[in-house]
Amino acid sequence: MAEDRMIADELNRYWDRFSQTPIARAFQKELPEFRRWLEDMGPKLLLARAKDAAAKGNPVAKDYVVDYAMGMLKRGGERVLVNMFAAWLVERKVVSQYYLIRNKLVAGGESIATWLRTLRGLNKA
């Protein structure tokens, strides 16, 4: 889909800054696999987050799903990738959410939990 490609391209724009974050440096050996996963699943995950927001009553997300997903990226930049990476690491049981928070590799657990719920929802589908 064209929208998936557009979102993937936007994700790629933030990769260099993301790869310099503390969590990316701490789990450097996981980055190649995460990047491959991100090419396919990143757009799906962002669109699923937008659809969740729409289901909770966000009118922008409801009427403009792709624009909402792109907006999340543009507002969040590499933080979106940090949280997606954190959720991906936790889901794969590479590390615990507690470890990431305790070691200040992520800002907090609420965002990771949201990404995890969305990711697990995609994995069930």
Averaged pLDDT in 10-residue chunks for the chain of 125 residues? 86 94 96 95 92 89 90 89 95 95 84 90 80
> Whose structure tokens read 């697990």?
120
Q: pLDDT value at position 1?
A: 67
User: What dihedral angle (degrees, nearest 10) is formed by the CA atoms of 75, 81, 82, 88?
Assistant: 140
Q: Extract the tokens encoding 123.
A: 């994995």
